[in-house]
Structure 1
Amino acid sequence: MSTKKPQQTINQKRASTDNSQTSSAVLGVAVGEDRYLVPMTEVSEVITIPKLAHVPLTQPWFLGLANVRGNLYGITDLGVYLGKDSSPFNQKSRILLASPTDKLYGGFIVNSMLGIRSLSEFTPVKAVRKKLPQGAIKPYKDAEGRLWQELSLFVLIREEKFLQIARG
């Protein structure tokens, strides 16, 4: 009995260390000229852009539906959704799939992938006075002085605006 408790404590410590390392892992992406850090825990998969089923009379940021392994994902142009001008997509563009619940699926097109990073590589900065985009968590700077914005896809997916794709 006494040997079981220390082993459980060691395993619990390992689990908490693994969780903290996982939670600080972020995916760097480019959306137009802007750079974002998306928590890896919110990205279920990264895919190339498949053929999308167009849905008429929807918001300009809603690009259509994609069937990914039997699940329908509404695909959003992340830049346009965040209030930026549309940027052309190319071979480097990808879709970040996110599914915060079993019944809520969303895909966000980004212009390019900038790699998996650790938040410890970045320095938090005070938010500038301009309004941050929806889902924005915190601004950071990298070692080269470039500005990055941590962004939550789960927050975006749950917004009323995101759930109302019909043009009104």
Structure 2
Amino acid sequence: MANREALKDFQARLAVRLQEARDEGVSVSSWLAVESAGGHFLLPLAQLGEIFPWGGAQSVPYTQSWFMGVTSLRGTLTGVVDLAGLLGAVQPRSEQALLESSVLALNGALEVNAALLVDRLAGLRGVQAFVASEPSAQGSPVYFGSAYVDEQGMRWQELDLQALSRHPAFLSISA
């Protein structure tokens, strides 16, 4: 219950900060920074929907190991994809680790009822939060955008959720 309240507070603070930035004419952050299986990712805010605490998912037989199952998010049946697993990381999670995870619904405009399971929300980021950027490495998945490096030397990989939601691997959940 405490996780739900903390998440609601985070969403409320996020909405207030975004509105204040728009009112002041400040450039608004472009990404939600998340961590999953030790990876650092930037997810475009325009391609995301709501943030939910992990509440479990009904498993679906004969699906990929990264497909966590389906859950109801605000009355809509939604498939939950483990972001780290989809990207190839094998990370068994304890029940406690799952309880600390978040589910990020994809924006309805992407026309796919899917959400991503991530380990931790790391806040909002804009281009000004980084000291360097580089194009995606040759051979990277088509949904990899640029990589950004922050002042601490941490590398953040941008993910194009629209391209991801259309990618055959994402759409093929059967094992």
Q: TM-score of the superposition, structure 2-length normalised?
A: 0.76
Deviation at 1:151, TM superposition (A): 1.0
Equivalent of residue 30 in structure 2, options 25, 34, 45? 25
What runs of 5+ residues in structure 1 fail to find an aligned partner? 1-14
CA distance in 1, matches of 2:122, 2:111: 29
Deviation at 1:99, TM superposition (A): 3.0
Question: How many residues are paired up?
Answer: 150
CA distance in 2, matches of 1:102, 1:83: 23
The 5 A counterparts of 1:86-125 are 86-88=91-93, 89-101=97-109, 103-125=111-133
Deviation at 1:72, TM superposition (A): 1.2
CA distance in 2, matches of 1:130, 1:95: 30
Deviation at 1:126, TM superposition (A): 2.9
CA distance in 1, matches of 2:117, 2:61: 19
What runs of 5+ residues in structure 2 fail to find an aligned partner? 1-21
Deviation at 1:100, TM superposition (A): 4.5
Structure index of larger Rg:
1
Q: Tell me, what secondary structure is at the counterpart of 2:77?
A: strand
Deviation at 1:127, TM superposition (A): 4.5
Which residue of 2 is the match for residue 145 of structure 1?
A: 153
Equivalent of residue 159 in structure 1, options 135, 142, 167? 167
Deviation at 1:123, TM superposition (A): 3.1
The 5 A counterparts of 1:40-59 are 40-59=45-64
Deviation at 1:163, TM superposition (A): 1.2
* Greater fraction helix: 2
Which residue of 1 is the match for residue 77 of structure 2?
A: 72
